[in-house]
A and B are shown apart, each in its own frame.
Chain A
Amino acid sequence: MFDWVLKLEADKEILQQFTEGNIEQAALKLVKTYKNFVYLTAYRYLKNYDDAEDITQEVFIKALEKLKSFRLESTIKTWLYRITVNFSKNFLRKKALYSFFSIDKLNDGDTEFDIADTTKGTEIEYKELEEKFLQAVANLPEKQREVFSLRYFDKLSFNEISKLLGTSVGGLKANYFYAVRKIADEMKKYLEE
């Protein structure tokens, strides 16, 4: 409940700055607050870091264009989530079409984390684990993946997730349980190595 109030307050502040004409400040605050959320959401769909970054930029540009007409009927976070999912799905459709006509080859090369710039052993180990963790999440079935991410990373309530995904709270809880179980199973083998 307290989280919800804080989120609304932050959203109100962004909107207020925007309507008062402090557009650049509002834009910067919006991007800084929600960049990780948008980026991770895009990554879960695209499974590619470069594409996720491109889509994140597109999402914010679109959101800033439409922010004037945004009404606080939902939080900015859930609004951004919808935009991100739509953009990611459209991107995947286009990419599939291009690859079908061989216009653009699917680039899976950068899904693996580049560890060339790391030096310490533990750091590499941690980064690899973080990478594996993200991949394990991204490889879940869509419903499980989304409920896990929105609940675990983004701390949304089941009611909020239910509105976003159009699934009953009971169904979401079951999906959440199966997602946690699968991730634990998947990550266990890397942690035991």
Chain B
Amino acid sequence: MDIKKFTYEEMQEYLPDYIFGRLAPEERQRFEDTLTDFPDLQKEIAEVQKVFRKLESMDFENYVERKTKNIPVKVTNRLQQKRQPLVFLSSRGFRTAVASLGLLIILLSLIFMPKQRNSLPINPKTEEKQTAKLQNEEPLIKIEGMEELVSSVPNANDLNGASVVVAPSIFESFSKNSEIATALDSLMKETLVSSLNTNSQISIDLVSYSQLINNLNQLDESDFIELIEELQNVNI
């Protein structure tokens, strides 16, 4: 039986698979039958085979394996790192912390609600005018009971190291932990003092502030409301 031979181009196309032993038996037979017609290809096959035999004896797989041996560990570590935030979110500790924080916010808002009801809304225009007026030496506003209250507040300069009765912390009422109450109180004082210093140009001492708070705490609620109403009626 006469086998149909390959063309030169076809021989070139099949050459690598012939060298690497990847031709089907019929193709291999046909290739070898045709090869006798092309001495240049025979020479080429011999050269390529020589090179690749040497290369294939080098255990190339092992060479690459050595280079990639740590990749599974690295990928696994990176995947675990990626998953960690989610694990943290679903952890019992995190849920407890969120619940505690929520409870704390509710408690704080319950405590501050009555105070906020009594606070005055600040009109930016009025605030500007007030600042300007406060810079004058003479007080322009006269409120019943205010003189008495202000006179009872000692000036820091007058105290000169005298023992000062510190106002009871307004946070003591809701926190049994005195350290937290003290910390919150001092934080509030600092904030208020710095705010007054920058906004109204009034320099106020922490001790004076304590006395003021002390006196305000002693006022009845009705007196306090009356005081605020009077303030609201004042035309500046």
Which residues of A pack against B, CB within 8 Å?
24, 27-28, 31-32, 35-36, 39-40, 49, 53, 56-57, 60-61, 64, 126-127, 129-130, 133, 151-152, 170, 173-174, 176-177, 179-181, 183-184, 187-188, 191
Contacts and interface: CB of A to CB of B under 8 A. Distances in A.
B48 A57 contact: no
A53 B71 contact: yes
Interface of B is mostly: helix
A39 B67 contact: yes
A58 B133 CA distance: 67
B78 A57 contact: yes
Nearest to A63: B75
A27 B79 contact: yes
A27 B14 CA distance: 38
A31 B15 CA distance: 34
A60 B52 CA distance: 31
18 contacts: A27-B75, A28-B72, A36-B61, A36-B64, A39-B64, A53-B68, A53-B71, A60-B75, A61-B82, A126-B59, A130-B60, A133-B58, A151-B16, A152-B16, A174-B9, A181-B48, A184-B48, A191-B50
Contact of A173 (B14, B47, B72): B14
Given A35-B71, A39-B71, A133-B55, A127 B63 contact: yes
A152 B76 CA distance: 30
Contacts of A129: 54-55, 58
Nearest to A133: B55
Contacts of B60: 130, 133
A36 B65 contact: yes
Contacts of B71: 31, 35, 39, 53, 56-57, 60
A145 to B, nearest CB: 14
Contacts of B44: 181
A147 B173 CA distance: 80
B19 interface: yes
B68 A35 contact: yes
Contacts of A127: 63
B74 interface: yes
Contacts of B14: 173
B135 interface: no
Contacts of A39: 64, 67-68, 71
Interface string B1-29: 00000000100111110011000000000
A60 B78 CA distance: 10
A183 B93 CA distance: 61
B51 interface: yes
